[in-house]
Amino acid sequence: MSTPPPPSQPPSGGFGAPQDPPPAQPPGPPAPPQQPPTQPAYGYPQQPEPGYGYPQQPGTPPPFGPPTTPMYSPQPPAGGAGGGGNDVRTQLMIVGAALLAIVLIVGGGFWYVSGDGDGRNDTADGGPAKPGDDKSQPGAGGTEKVPANTKSKVLLNQPSPTPDEMVQVPGSWLTDTTYVKSDVYKIVGYNLVDGGKKWEVPLPGELCGATPHVTDKKSAVLFRPAKPTPEAKYPPCTEVAVIDLEAGKLVWTGNAKSATSGDKPVSYYEVTLSGQTVAAGGSSGGAAWNLADGKSLWLPKTDGEGCRDAGYAGGEALAVIRKCGQSSTPTLYAQVLDPATGAPQSSYKLSAGIDYASIVSTKPLIVAADVGKTAKNATGVSDLFVVDPAGQLKARISLSSGNFGGECKTEVERCFGFVVGNGKLYLPSYEHQGQDPYGKTNELLSFDLETGKQTNEAAPAGERYKLFPLRMDGSNIIAYKEPPYDKGGQIVSIDGKTMKETVLMENPSDKTTQRIETAYSPDHHEYRYHNGKLFLARTTVKKPHSSTSDPEYIFSSFTAS
């Protein structure tokens, strides 16, 4: 069965011009009305980030203006071993800096409440994907080192393909030696020395989904079985493949049929990876395969109550949002699964009236939903539910005050700006006026996952910069800082114990380079940082709507030395 054609979309633009909108939603239950996304000035509006084939309509920016919240009292950092005079002076300096930052924030009218992976279970940008392992404990630090020279230079700006119709290109992965990027009907590997092409893997049709998770230097994608034709302009997204990111080859490809699909393979919205299990979900249910050989682990199925696996989330564990009943009034369950069989190991029933839910983290299990359509600024999510291993609610975190950033879509594994580690959930504050009357700023905040309460810690972005967390690096948080108009962006490592920032990379501030960089945004595009290399990538491409548009790139990259 072919998917319906997408609605008409606005045209693509240049660096700071409107970008390619997302493609049409695959067949399935209608999406609820979307809140406008948080829009820091990256050159908005843009195409959706990490895009792994999850279409959404772009929104409009919310009105500017500082939210109102009470002030919190900063605390000194947790004590370490030794505790000599230098440690005391260091702590006092940190506390003083924190107090100064708070004074500056208050003066601006804004107050607050209270490495190197081994290739196994890694993230798309090479860092460890296990926030629960030893490296994620407070004080353990991370594996990303400060380059000898943090001032970066452009590595490669790869010109964008220009197909007449919009084509999805979701998927980016960064290993120790290779940057891998999906392209039009292919996946391409580039070396990290000069950005030269290493290999290319052709595909019979358009890519329509990808997971950022990596196991044994392999990851998974979804693609269509054929290119569009006049008779079948939108082939269904039925094919699953595993790609070897180092060797540059498809390990296997496959699809699945359900009891109700007849001879036609089932279509999927999204794909994920947890350990040795590849799982894909959609409106007809979910299926899974063994990573190494593509052996089927389970097929799409529904039970007597009309329950089906709507979508999966991977990483350290495998979890699912299971929908039961009528699509207009579904009952949702968040479950942790046995990755070998798909059998539930725990199950949490969400409240009635929640039509869509996303999974922010699988271990611990954290579920996001827009309860009663009360989301504000943290787009598409008003509440986060922290679920214990027995399937019981441990804590509920409310974001509906409007003081917080971050974003969740209607798909299961598509939340941005939320990072989990050190027993906490890290997220950006919503942007607000700083001391500089012409610039916005924000902070990195956190919630305690045991209590669901906001902590009293904050890492300020600095005047006219805005922080966006990307991932954990051991107990540190890797974040991108969106620059003001006259600076380049930065990659920083924030100490999970002290919230002290260390700059890992600062990009060039010349007008041309800055204009290219700010055409991307971390909540709408794919950002991958590892070992002094930063890649910013698009997830859709199309011929520019005007011959006078700025040059467009499928990805841009920077290197520090």
The string of pLDDT tens digits covering residues 284-311 is 899 999 999 999 999 998 777 789 999 9
Where does the pLDDT of residue 140 fall: very low under 50, low under 70, confident under 90, or very high at 90 and above?
low
130 vs 474, higher pLDDT = 474
Q: Are 390 and 346 in contact (CB under 8 A)?
A: yes
Please tell me the distance from the alpha carbon of residue 479 to that of residue 469, in angstroms, as a whole number: 4
Please tell me the distance from the alpha carbon of residue 151 to that of residue 487, in angstroms, as a whole number: 12
Q: Are 505 and 129 in contact (CB under 8 A)?
A: no
- Average pLDDT in the 534-556 region? 91
Where does the pLDDT of residue 248 fall: very low under 50, low under 70, confident under 90, or very high at 90 and above?
very high
Length of the chain: 561
DSSP line for 341-398: T--EEEEEEPPTT----EEEEETTEEEEE-GGG---SSBT-SEEEEE-TTS-EEEEEE
CB neighbours (10 Å) of residue 251?
Answer: 16
Coil, strand or helix: which one is 96?
helix
∠ CA 407-413-417, rounded to 5°: 30
∠ CA 172-206-558, rounded to 5°: 25
Of the CA atoms within 13 Å of residue 123, those in its CB half-sphere come to: 21
DSSP line for 482-540: E--TTS--EEEEE-TTT--EEEEEE---SHHHHHHHTT--TTTSEEEEETTEEEEE-SE
Q: Are 250 and 185 in contact (CB under 8 A)?
A: no
Which pLDDT value is given to residue 80?
35
Is residue 24 predicted with pLDDT exceeding 60?
no
- Average pLDDT in the 272-285 region? 95
SS (H, E, C) 296-329: EEECCCCCCCCCEEEEEECCCCEEEEEEECCCCC
Q: Are 371 and 383 in contact (CB under 8 A)?
A: yes
Is residue 52 predicted with pLDDT exceeding 70?
no
Which pLDDT value is given to residue 411?
92
Which pLDDT value is given to residue 46?
34
Please report where in the chains the tokens 């071993």 appear, as a residue. 81
Is residue 63 predicted with pLDDT exceeding 90?
no
**Residue % of the chain over a pLDDT of 70:** 75
544 vs 452, higher pLDDT = 452
Which pLDDT value is given to residue 72?
34
Average pLDDT, the chain: 81
CB neighbours (10 Å) of residue 85?
Answer: 7
Nearest to 536 by CA among 213, 61, 45, 155: 155
Coil, strand or helix: which one is 191?
strand
Which pLDDT value is given to residue 128?
53
Which pLDDT value is given to residue 283?
86
Least-confidence region, from 6-15, 233-242, 446-455, 495-504: 6-15
332 vs 30, higher pLDDT = 332
Nearest to 252 by CA among 268, 276, 274, 232: 276
Please report where in the chains the tokens 């630090």 appear, as a residue. 141
Where does the pLDDT of residue 123 fall: very low under 50, low under 70, confident under 90, or very high at 90 and above?
confident
Which pLDDT value is given to residue 47?
36
Task: Tell me whether strands 533-537 and 540-541 are parallel, antiparallel or unpaired.
Answer: unpaired
- Average pLDDT in the 13-21 region? 40
Tokens for 518, please give them.
């700010």
Domains of the chain: 85-114+118-559 (2.130.10.10)
Tokens for 351, please give them.
């409240």
Please report where in the chains the tokens 């610039």 appear, as a residue. 439
Of the CA atoms within 13 Å of residue 441, those in its CB half-sphere come to: 26
Where does the pLDDT of residue 350 fall: very low under 50, low under 70, confident under 90, or very high at 90 and above?
very high
Please tell me the distance from the alpha carbon of residue 306 to that of residue 29, in angstroms, as a whole number: 14
CB neighbours (10 Å) of residue 61?
Answer: 13
Which pLDDT value is given to residue 263?
81
Question: No. of H helices and E strands in the chain?
Answer: 2, 38
Is residue 493 predicted with pLDDT exceeding 70?
yes
Tokens for 535, please give them.
């890649």
> CB-based contacts of 370: which residues, under 8 Å, 6+ apart?
32, 35, 354, 356, 380, 381, 382, 383, 408
Top mean-pLDDT range of 8-22, 29-43, 223-237: 223-237
